[in-house]
Structure 1
Amino acid sequence: MTSNEDHNYGIGDASFRAAGGEAGIRRLVDTFFDRMSSDPRFATIYAMHPEDKDESRDKLARFLCGWLGGPKLYHEKYGGISIPRIHEHLAIATPERDQWLTCMAESAAEQPFEPTFRKYLLEQLFVPAEAVRRRVSQLTSRDEQ
């Protein structure tokens, strides 16, 4: 049995609960933004965010709540979302994708998550991160033609 089968991550609100609900997700997002702002390895991706990071923190936390099977808080406040489309104006290539994933992995390591959930979460986060990189790459290729 895989770790996902043991814990039913990805089914119903199991992932949302494993993350500690909204409070746990907000702690993760706060750790992520604090790390991004203070660690020079993440300066490139930090600079991509608006100067006032409060709304960015709120948007990411609300998105993750719904994405992990909890309440659709992002949709309630901001409406629908396409992660690749809202990032297509940014210069996101493999290094930026990997910076984001590394920052998130290090932030998740500071949370009281079960190791199996942490592994599952990071594997799942690769999917939208790669979708953003791929979308930006496609648009850049079209612009160069």
Structure 2
Amino acid sequence: MTNPLSPDLRGTLYDRIGPATLRDLLERFYARVAQDPLIADLFPGSRDPALWSVTLDKQFAFMSGFLGGPPLYHRQYGNPMLRARHLPFPITPDRARAWLACMQAALRDTPDLDQGTAAELHMSLTRVAMHMVNTETP
């Protein structure tokens, strides 16, 4: 099995998704996150809706580099240090699964995203989401 983040003959995941479709995907994702009672409160936009655009922009910057595109997050914010940045938030296995469910629905509903690419991205994000778990479900 190949590494889903490595370039193949079709390019990186970023090349195959493209910035416009990535932005569309993330907009669909955060619309779902905002409605999810298990995880919405983990995001600044749930307390101040004006901050959803900041969250979206940061996620777009991170995902661009994560998917093999330009390292926008690194340039603006430095090393993502994902686990360290998420430690202040109680991320349970249930919350990780809720996050992934929002992403799966957004992947499914993004019209310009082919199913094979969507599956590769979901597989990569599943590993990341499980790595972020830092609290057991009560």
Is TM > 0.5 for Structure 1 vs Structure 2? yes
After superposition, give the CA deviation of every residue in 1:12-48 in whole Å (9 maximum; x if it has no partner).
35200221x22211111111111222x3xx1221111
Asked which structure has the greater CA Rg, the reply is 1
- Give TM-score, length-normalised by structure 1: 0.80
Structure 1: unaligned runs, 5 residues or longer: 141-145
Local SS of the residue matching 2:68: coil
Q: CA RMSD in A?
A: 1.8
Equivalent pairs: percent with the same residue?
24
**Alignment correspondent of 2:27:** 30
Query: Conserved in 1, the CA contact under 8 Å of 2:5 and 2:68?
Result: yes
Q: Which runs of 4+ in 1 moved over 2 A?
A: 8-13
C-alpha separation in 1, matches of 2:52 and 2:37: 14
C-alpha separation in 2, matches of 1:27 and 1:73: 17
C-alpha separation in 2, matches of 1:26 and 1:114: 15
- Give TM-score, length-normalised by structure 2: 0.84
Query: Conserved in 2, the CA contact under 8 Å of 1:16 and 1:65?
Result: yes
Structure 2: unaligned runs, 5 residues or longer: none
| Residues 1:127 and 2:127 aligned together | yes
Local SS of the residue matching 1:127: helix
After superposition, give the CA deviation of every residue in 1:95-140 in whole Å (9 maximum; x if it has no partner).
100000000000011112111111111111011101100xx13xx8
Compare the two structures and name the one with the higher helix fraction.
Answer: 1
Matched length? 127
| Residues 1:72 and 2:56 aligned together | no
C-alpha separation in 1, matches of 2:77 and 2:62: 10
